[in-house]
């Protein structure tokens, strides 16, 4: 009897009717002979409402008490879902995060899971019950209630699957899976059948909407196969796993777009040790998250350091940098708002050439200028003007024939044919 962990987000349990949809789905999996543990979030907007309630009490409520307050949200859902399952004749038992054995690191609102015994969950499953577990929460070693921060329920589900050595972890969402690009930008974007953990992490801007990077990291660390799928139908979604068969040959997996970026250039930085450290330490202390960092030698003894931040954080970043630029002996500080990142991601790049050239060529044909280029082993990112990012995504998507990525790579005949085309394109631009 395979153990399957299913996770349903706040929208999927946003009303009594929807809770019953979930209950029916769980009951069907039980009827199919599986042993099911379900992880759920707070209903609909509950968490936002609790945050508002707290803010009506205190402008800046303590994180400790906020965690105590917010954790009630999932506790309501687990009780209601267990009641619904029992009403359908399905034995069930609910567990809060602490009851399920989720041990957290003590950070009140952005905690990480340090251990997950799942003793009581295993016992419930052994007794033939569905275990309904509250996502997003746990308790530290002193019994203090912690919440897991964004993507917390996904992480609870994957960590529970690891603790139970589950056959798979199904993350139910309101989309069909992970797509080659955001379908709102590229209408013929295709759902991927499989993707590696690393690709999923690099595609964060696509993936974070359906599966939080922390959950992906947790899955990678424990070898948990994560199935991202729709809660509206029974079609398979996207499997996130260690290795996919590279012989099926799709070099590029997907295209990610991140708008709302700002570029900052510190020009004429003396080329000596410790300067970059000073700059980024100062920015880090201001709690600004730096994304791309590119350094290129301009002329002997001087560097230009370019990096991007979220556009919202540009003013704060400049405030920190302006005095510092003089201190470190740099010549100028430039910045540019309204830029966007566009990235192509795929493990296959490691073994392929010409992907970068193809990406640049696709954008050149659309007369899109590239500000910065940055690459990792499985990703190429370009910074471009924000108002051209949709054009760039469509052009690159088309260039690499991503609309023809096979839906069922395990179907070898179709696979060979279609991925051949994708490979051919790459070869053609070497």
Site for a copy of itself, rule CB under 8 A? 16, 19-20, 50, 53-54, 56-59, 61-62, 64-66, 68-69, 71-72, 75-76, 78-80, 82-84, 86-87, 92-94, 96, 99, 120, 143, 145
The owner of tokens 């040790």 is: 273
Q: Give min distance, CB of 28 to a copy of itself, in A.
A: 19
- Of 64 and 272, nearer to a copy of itself (C-beta) is 64
Q: Give min distance, CB of 172 to a copy of itself, in A.
A: 19
Q: Give min distance, CB of 422 to a copy of itself, in A.
A: 49
Are 22 and 38 in contact by the 8 Å Cβ rule? The answer is yes
Instruction: With CA atoms as reference, report the closest residue to 74 among 38, 111, 110, 42.
Output: 42
Alpha-carbon distance of 392 to 361, in angstroms, equals 11
- Of 78 and 339, nearer to a copy of itself (C-beta) is 78
Phi first, then psi: what are they for 122, rounded to 5°? -60, -40
Angle of the 355-365 helix axis to the 412-428 helix axis, nearest 10: 70
341 to each of 82, 309, 349, 384, how far by Cα in Å? 44, 11, 19, 6
- Of 74 and 176, nearer to a copy of itself (C-beta) is 74
- Of 71 and 111, nearer to a copy of itself (C-beta) is 71
Phi/psi-derived region of residue 321, left when phi > 0, alpha when psi is between -120 and 50, beta in every other case: alpha
Q: Give min distance, CB of 94 to a copy of itself, in A.
A: 5
Q: Give min distance, CB of 11 to a copy of itself, in A.
A: 18
Would you tell me how many other CB atoms lie within 10 Å of the CB of residue 350? 10
- Of 139 and 257, nearer to a copy of itself (C-beta) is 139
Q: Give min distance, CB of 32 to a copy of itself, in A.
A: 23
- Of 160 and 244, nearer to a copy of itself (C-beta) is 160
Q: Name the maximum alpha-carbon separation found in the chain.
A: 76
CA atoms within 13 Å, Cβ hemisphere of 381: 22
Alpha-carbon distance of 339 to 384, in angstroms, equals 6
- Of 65 and 271, nearer to a copy of itself (C-beta) is 65
Q: Give min distance, CB of 266 to a copy of itself, in A.
A: 42
Instruction: With CA atoms as reference, report the closest residue to 261 among 288, 228, 221, 300.
Output: 288
Q: Give min distance, CB of 229 to a copy of itself, in A.
A: 25
Adjacent-strand bridge partners of 134: 40
Q: Give min distance, CB of 62 to a copy of itself, in A.
A: 6
Alpha-carbon distance of 70 to 75, in angstroms, equals 9
Instruction: With CA atoms as reference, report the closest residue to 340 among 296, 304, 372, 314.
Output: 372
- Of 36 and 330, nearer to a copy of itself (C-beta) is 36
- Mention every residue, 6+ apart, whose C-beta is less than 8 A from residue 359: 344, 380, 382, 396, 399
Identify the H or E element spanning 36: strand 35-40
- Of 86 and 302, nearer to a copy of itself (C-beta) is 86
Are 264 and 308 in contact by the 8 Å Cβ rule? The answer is yes
Q: Give min distance, CB of 135 to a copy of itself, in A.
A: 15
- Of 19 and 380, nearer to a copy of itself (C-beta) is 19
Report, in angstroms and rounded to the nearest whole number, the Rg of the chain calculated over CA atoms: 24
């Amino acid at each position: 009897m395979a153990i399957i962990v299913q996770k349903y987000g706040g929208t999927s349990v946003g009303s009594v009717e929807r809770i019953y949809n979930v209950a029916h789905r769980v009951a069907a999996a039980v009827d199919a002979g599986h042993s099911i543990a379900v992880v759920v979030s707070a209903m609909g907007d509950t968490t936002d409402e609790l945050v508002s309630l707290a803010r009506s009490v205190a402008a800046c409520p303590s994180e400790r008490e906020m965690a105590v307050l917010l954790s009630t949200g999932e506790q309501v859902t687990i009780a209601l879902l267990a009641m619904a399952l029992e009403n359908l004749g399905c034995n069930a038992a609910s567990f809060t995060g602490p009851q399920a054995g989720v041990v957290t690191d003590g950070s009140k609102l952005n905690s990480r899971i340090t251990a997950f015994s799942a003793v009581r969950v295993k016992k419930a499953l052994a007794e033939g019950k569905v275990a309904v577990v509250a996502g997003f929460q746990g308790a530290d070693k002193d019994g203090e209630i912690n919440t897991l921060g964004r993507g917390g329920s996904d992480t609870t589900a994957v960590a529970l699957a690891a603790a139970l050595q589950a056959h798979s972890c199904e993350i139910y969402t309101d989309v069909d899976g992970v797509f080659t690009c955001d379908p709102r930008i590229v209408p013929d974007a295709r759902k991927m059948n499989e993707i590696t953990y690393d690709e999923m992490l690099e595609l964060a801007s696509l993936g974070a909407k359906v599966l939080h990077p922390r959950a992906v990291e947790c899955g990678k660390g424990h070898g948990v196969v994560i199935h991202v799928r729709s809660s509206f139908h029974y079609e398979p979604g996207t499997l996130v796993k260690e290795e996919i068969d590279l012989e099926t040959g799709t070099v590029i997996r997907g295209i990610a777009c991140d708008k709302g970026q700002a570029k900052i250039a510190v020009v004429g930085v003396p080329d000596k040790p410790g300067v970059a450290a000073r700059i980024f330490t100062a920015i880090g202390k201001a709690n600004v998250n730096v994304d791309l960092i590119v350094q290129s030698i301009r002329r002997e003894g001087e560097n230009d350091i370019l990096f991007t931040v979220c556009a919202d954080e540009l003013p704060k970043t400049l405030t920190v940098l302006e005095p510092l630029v003089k201190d470190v002996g740099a010549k100028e500080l430039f910045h540019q708002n309204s830029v966007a990142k566009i990235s192509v991601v795929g493990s296959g790049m490691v073994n392929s050439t010409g992907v970068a050239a193809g990406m640049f060529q696709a954008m050149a044909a659309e007369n899109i200028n590239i500000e910065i280029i940055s690459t990792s082993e499985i990703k190429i990112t370009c910074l471009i003007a924000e108002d051209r990012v949709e054009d760039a995504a469509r052009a690159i998507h088309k260039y690499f024939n991503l609309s023809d990525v096979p839906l069922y790579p395990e179907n070898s005949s179709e696979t060979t044919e279609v991925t051949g085309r994708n490979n051919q394109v790459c070869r053609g631009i070497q």
